[in-house]
Amino acid sequence: MSTPKTVKPTRHILSLSGGKDSAALAIHMRGKVEGMEYIFHDTYKELPDTYEYLDRLEDYLGQKIVKTTYGTTFDDLLRQYGGMLPSNHRRWCTRMMKLKPFEDYIGADACINYVGIRADEARVGYISHKPNIQAVFPFRDDGIDYEGVQRILQDSGIGMPPYTEWGRTRSGCFFCFYQQKIEWVRLKQRYPELYEEAKAYEKPNRVNGNVFNWCQNESLAELEQPERMAEILEKWELQQARAVQNRKNLPLVTTLAGLETNEAPSTGCLICHL
């Protein structure tokens, strides 16, 4: 007589990016789901701030955040991709360092993946579409928007990610090509050694001599010139002044409804920047 197969229980997984939305979701979901697993896909190219924030969160949750690995290094992957730095159109980094480790971690198990897209966002994610992984969106279901996320973080004492204190808007790799020029300037000011590390990748490729840059239209060597940094800062300050003016011109009802926020446009991928 054959023994009946035991069915593995469905796993519950919440992926943390080091960003505010996934952190707030972890806090929001604490104690609501039995056996919740918290994971973080470490690229080994994260900001020190991200590790600090995850430690803070781990203490609050009273649970270990599992750090997945991708079995090699960024430099090795870069070699495999012919020295082509990742970009919006060549996003092998997310696939290899974030999405694949996520899918490997889950394997063939049935899993519910908790995603921190907020109620005020129209984002669709770069998320797994494997049939055994079902994505759910608790913030959307519970009507939690940008202000709601800020409130959760404030009330818990976790606060916003430390990198927001020096004006960076997103989690993810320190060299992420999604960052705005002003964020490169701030990276240079805050972590000059990481800026140097990013700049070092813009050398001619040993195989074919091609040079790839992280940001459009200019190299990091050009961007770090004092006059160029001053120009970027000045432009950013002008944009901020304009944004403040526009906010003043918004109808009160829009402001009260929280329909406008100070958040930077979110063009990154969910698994890296949520």
Interacting residue ranges for ligand SF4, rule: CB under 6 A: 43, 86, 91, 93-94, 97-98, 172-173, 176, 178, 269, 272
Nearest to ligand SF4 of 43, 113 (CB atom): 43
Exposed / middle / buried, residue 22 (Cβ in 10 Å: 0-12, 13-18, 19+): buried
Contacts of 270 (CB under 8 A, 6+ apart): 17, 115, 117, 123, 125, 126, 127
Nearest to ligand SF4 of 36, 176 (CB atom): 176
CA 21 to chain centre: 9
Q: How far is the CB of 163 from ligand SF4 (least distance, A)?
A: 12
Nearest to ligand SF4 of 60, 81 (CB atom): 81
Nearest to ligand SF4 of 89, 248 (CB atom): 89
Give the chain's radius of gyration (CA, Å): 20
Q: How far is the CB of 259 from ligand SF4 (least distance, A)?
A: 28
Q: How far is the CB of 194 from ligand SF4 (least distance, A)?
A: 13
Residue nearest to ligand SF4 (CB): 172
Q: How far is the CB of 93 from ligand SF4 (least distance, A)?
A: 3
Q: How far is the CB of 200 from ligand SF4 (least distance, A)?
A: 15
CA 144 to chain centre: 19
Nearest to ligand SF4 of 20, 28 (CB atom): 20
